[in-house]
Amino acid sequence: MLLNRKQSGKRWHLRPDGAPKVTGQLQYLTDMTLPDMIHGRVLRSEYPYARILSIDTSEAEALEGVYAVLTSKDVLGLNRFGIATPDQPVFCEDIVRYVGDAIAAVAADSPERAALALDAIRVVYEELTPLNSTDAALAPDAPELHKHGPGNVLHRTEIKRGDAEQAFATCDHIVTETYFTPRQMHAYMETEGGLFVPDEEGRLNVYAATQHGYKDRMQLARIIGCPEEDIRVVSSPIGGSFGGKDELNVQPYGALLALRCGRPVKMHNSRKESVRAGLKRHPMKIEMQTGMSREGIIQAHRVRITADTGAYATLGAPVLNFCTEHCLGPYAIPNVDVEGVSVYTNNGLSGEFRGFGGNQAIFAMEGQMDRLAEIMNMDPWEFRRRNMREKNDPGPLNQRILVTDGLSQVWEALDRSELWQKHQSPPADPALPPWIKRGVGAAIAMHGAGLGYGIPDPAGGRLSLNNEGKIEVAFSYEEFGQGLIATLEIMLCDLFQCSTSDLSIIIGDTDRVPHSGSSTASRSTTMAWMALQRLQTPFRSHVLTVASALSGVPADELVTGPGGVWRKGQLPAETSEVESESGFVVSYAELATQGEADEWIFDTKFDYPTTPDNVVGGHYLYTYAAVAAEVEVNTLTGETKLLDTRHVVAAGPVINPMGYIGQIEGGSVMALGFTLTEDAVMQDSRYVTTNLDTYLIPTIQDIHTNLEVEAIEDLPEGDAFGPRGIGEIGSVALAPAITAAIHQATGIWVNRLPVPREQLVRPLNVPLQEGVSPS
Amino acid sequence: MSKPLENHWTAVVNGEEKHLEIAQTTRLVDVLRTHLQLTGTKVSCEVGRCGACMVLMDGEPVNSCLVMAYQCAGSDIMTIEGLHGDEKGTLHPIQQAFVEEGGFQCGYCTPGMVISTKALLDAHPEPSQEQIETGLCGNLCRCTGYGGIIRAVRKAGERCVVKETSAEETVS
């Protein structure tokens, strides 16, 4: 179904957080203030790599209006954090490893005074030569950035199947190419920050953005050295994240300063500090060699992935796992030889980012497919079909995966599309000047959801009738813009035929929600759906039993509806006139007064579905996508303009059409930036692009206004997992579609992102001159 | 002892006259967010690129991170808190259109985006695609991909035009 407002009809659901957002009334956590609050700031490293010889804070401490100056010796518990591998120091003790490394933090009565205090801290360094590339870090004589070695390798991955070496020897054609992808920045509009408030009961209240409040709480408790229950983390609403706020950022400093000072501390990173300290997408070098038979059947695939993970582990290892899994694409390849390595350097901090390593892998793999198809002189889409995995084939890691038709469905839908049809007969517009070239390209992807085999991936939730008579759900997910609250409203109204005013939705507060996992890996919608499937029957049954006891109407003649319980078959058509209708039996408010409050609370706990096979990181549920793109290349300036795009996505039922379109459109434009303009450039391990005036994300003038989203909603009958995540799938396959289109337009194979404009510039057709070599 | 005169700042903010004792080098974004607690105006890049802090100054859109107190003293400033429908507490047609068309996600760019749309539609009640692109190219959004925003601006434009036309008809 072509997804738009018209097609969506009544399912076009207005977001409950809409009015507060468009009026500016919504208080983000960085907007919060308290009368007696003070301001926190962090002193970060002057060098990407250096030894700290001494830190003198006495001058800063003596300044008027300065309440605290903290260094590593003031950390009460563990001086480290990191979701998977806690190796990032809260405050560096002896070595700094990147320009965002924290050395000290101050709290003062104004932001200006806090800045003065930072200036007054004297740090003496011994500057060291930074490892500014993975090559430098892997050199045999390179210093080890971390003690756990060997060398500067964070993580290695491997997939070996068949005998690739022997298979290559028998291949008729082999394509060898090396692909490079940029250090992309999340560029969420709200930079990191929040308010940290110690209360009279000795608890610490943390109001700061994260994608996983419970994980923050656990890490903060470890840093502070206190029980987790002594901390409350309130973590929504969030002004964008895209993976960038999943790791702790300002929280350790705000928390420690607030506890030391015994007063509320406000933190809010400037954009420049956010760029310097924050996560980026892993830049990767992916070498690929792919061989096929005379008939165009891929026989062998060799891949070497090198990921620059920067100074600390963060989620570098799982990102590499994901990239490794996805660099085989949705293809059946008998002989496979893949090795990946994630390397510590002094180049900032790489971590999780929408797509989670899939974007890099799919760009490379789909690039290979286009190059192979050209050798075959074959339609690249047909070439893909010929090599695609069959429905019942195992997943990329040879693991069992849930069988759906998604892959062939997205392939067929794109094949039929008008946009892809243009590829067959490239549009020749005589009105265009000769230096403007047009082309169409396409790419396909399967993208895993969930954290993958071997990583704890708990889910759950709570459904209750609260004492105000509202149907209340509580999840530990977060709203960072994706529209989760609207999606939950839709699901609940569908399940109970109630109205939105009957609902209370609680997320983003560890004091009020059960531990039900994180909002990451395109999985919140699936997990919430699965939780509600488990909770709805016991909840409804209790509601109807009590309603029956109150009214004398048999429970099996009752249903839930707007405002309360109704006689079956007598639900009002519209939800406005509730209790005046004759079929109304009892209100939720009245029901809630019956029995003990606990009787109205239903909990569930389960794990996100994983493959039964023992392959670390292997996924079970996949979302499928095909993307076509038409571009216009100006060969005088090297500028590429995306004209038209179609995304076909197979992710099961569309619960929230507005949210779905928004996620695919947003992901697509983020991928456009990844492809054409975005790169956090570093020179000698220092950022050159320090703000949004030089780090260029797409503006409204840069986008493809002809973006169409087609949703394929089919799932096998009786599918137990419901809607699949779509948070990432819009962002993973556009880059190779664009570069394929550029190739059709210009004949140039691009292997580096963002697309180097100079590579697309062609000299004017001037006659050859002696001594001048045409490029 | 009276306070030094040079720290006296006055302006009309959302229709109300405001007087503050602040350094004249205070940025307007801080005047609004810190001194007047109008946190609808957001702070993001602080170099005038992203438009999250956009406000109207004498009817013109400005990045409030680039305007110092002395530059806006005596002017008429409208922030997102000053925009509403016919009655206070109701949504302006632009705001309504943003809600209906999904013209926001995280919402952090939205106040600035809505203010720029107001300026755009004031100047071009029936904007062309090019005028929309020019009018909003100073506002970055990282969530929506701008699709919902463009649909919202178009719808708001239609509504504002319809409204103005009917108002004229009533007058005549």
Instruction: Enumerate the H helices of A599-733 as residue ranges.
Output: 657-676
Q: Do B49 and A692 touch (CB under 8 A)?
A: yes
| pLDDT given at position A770 | 61
Q: Do A481 and B143 touch (CB under 8 A)?
A: yes
Backbone angles phi, psi at A380, to 5 degrees: -65, -25
Non-local (6+) Cβ contacts of B136 within 8 A are A700, B113, B116, B117, B120, B146, B149, B153
Residues of B in contact with A666 (CB under 8 A): 105, 142-145
Residues of B in contact with A696 (CB under 8 A): none
**Length of chain A counted residue by residue:** 775
Residue B167 has pLDDT above 80, yes or no: no
State the amino acid at position A319 in one-letter form: V
Which of A14, A17, A667 comes nearest B107 by C-beta? A17
Residue A630 has pLDDT above 80, yes or no: yes
State the amino acid at position A738 in one-letter form: I
Residue A161, judged by CB atoms within 10 A of its CB (0-12, 13-18, 19+), counts as middle
A775 touches chain B (CB under 8 A): no
Q: Do A189 and B50 touch (CB under 8 A)?
A: yes
| pLDDT given at position B172 | 39
A439 touches chain B (CB under 8 A): no
Q: Do A693 and B47 touch (CB under 8 A)?
A: yes
Distance CA B149, CA B151 (A): 5
B129 DSSP 8-state letter:
H
pLDDT tens digits, A712-746: 999 999 999 999 989 999 999 999 999 999 999 99
Q: Do B107 and A668 touch (CB under 8 A)?
A: no
Residue A566 has pLDDT above 80, yes or no: yes
Non-local (6+) Cβ contacts of B104 within 8 A are A18, A21, A22, A481, B98, B110, B113, B141, B143, B144, B148, B149
Q: In the A/B pair of chains, how many CB contacts fall below 8 A?
A: 173
Question: Please, which residues bridge with residue A113 across strands?
Answer: none
pLDDT tens digits, A22-34: 999 999 999 999 9
pLDDT tens digits, A641-669: 999 999 999 999 999 999 999 999 999 99
* For chain A, percent of residues with pLDDT exceeding 70: 97
Confidence at A572, pLDDT banded by 50, 70, 90? confident
Chain A from 137 to 176: CB within 8 A of any B CB: none
- Chain centre to alpha carbon of residue A92: 28
pLDDT tens digits, A406-448: 999 999 999 999 999 999 876 667 888 989 999 999 999 999 9
Confidence at A617, pLDDT banded by 50, 70, 90? confident
Task: Tell me what the mean pLDDT of segment A579-592 comes to.
Answer: 88
| pLDDT given at position A396 | 93
The alpha-carbon gap from B135 to the nearest alpha carbon of chain A, in Å, equals: 9
B156 touches chain A (CB under 8 A): no
Max CA-CA distance within chain B? 58
Closest residue in chain B to residue A691, using alpha carbons only: B45
Please provide the average confidence, as pLDDT, over all residues in chain A. 94
pLDDT tens digits, A514-537: 998 888 777 889 999 999 999 999
Q: Do A189 and B44 touch (CB under 8 A)?
A: yes
State the amino acid at position A540 in one-letter form: R
pLDDT tens digits, B83-136: 999 999 999 999 999 999 999 999 999 999 999 999 999 999 999 999 999 999
Residue A164 has pLDDT above 60, yes or no: yes
Q: Do B106 and A239 touch (CB under 8 A)?
A: yes
Closest residue in chain A to residue B82, using alpha carbons only: A23
Residue with tokens 């203030």, as numbered in its chain: A33
| pLDDT given at position B171 | 46
Which of B44, B83, B106 comes nearest A480 by C-beta? B106
B56 touches chain A (CB under 8 A): no
Non-local (6+) Cβ contacts of B121 within 8 A are B94, B127, B153, B156, B157, B160
Which of A240, A483, A658 comes nearest B142 by C-beta? A240
Distances (CA, A) of A149 to A164, A321, A517: 30, 19, 31
Confidence at B168, pLDDT banded by 50, 70, 90? low
Residue with tokens 């005013």, as numbered in its chain: A501
Please provide the average confidence, as pLDDT, over all residues in chain B. 93
Which of B47, B105, B111 comes nearest A691 by C-beta? B47
Which of A14, A237, A239 comes nearest B99 by C-beta? A14
B144 touches chain A (CB under 8 A): yes
B23 touches chain A (CB under 8 A): no
Backbone angles phi, psi at A683, to 5 degrees: -125, 120
B172 touches chain A (CB under 8 A): no
Q: Do B107 and A237 touch (CB under 8 A)?
A: yes
B68 touches chain A (CB under 8 A): no
pLDDT tens digits, B59-87: 999 999 999 999 999 999 999 999 999 99
B107 touches chain A (CB under 8 A): yes
Confidence at A476, pLDDT banded by 50, 70, 90? very high
Which of A186, A190, A666 comes nearest B145 by C-beta? A666
The alpha-carbon gap from A227 to the nearest alpha carbon of chain B, in Å, equals: 32
Mutation to test the A interface, candidates B22, B55, B94, B105, most A Cβ within 10 Å: B105
B98 touches chain A (CB under 8 A): yes
Which of B49, B136, B145 comes nearest A669 by C-beta? B145
Question: Please, which residues bridge with residue A603 across strands?
Answer: A462
**Length of chain B counted residue by residue:** 172
Residue with tokens 């994608």, as numbered in its chain: A211
Closest residue in chain A to residue B106, using alpha carbons only: A481
Residues of B in contact with A18 (CB under 8 A): 98-99, 104
Can the peptide bond before residue A433 be classed as cis, meaning omega within 30 degrees of 0? no
Mutation to test the A interface, candidates B84, B96, B106, B141, most A Cβ within 10 Å: B106
- Residue A277 structure tokens: 């300290």
Q: Whole-prediction pTM value?
A: 0.95
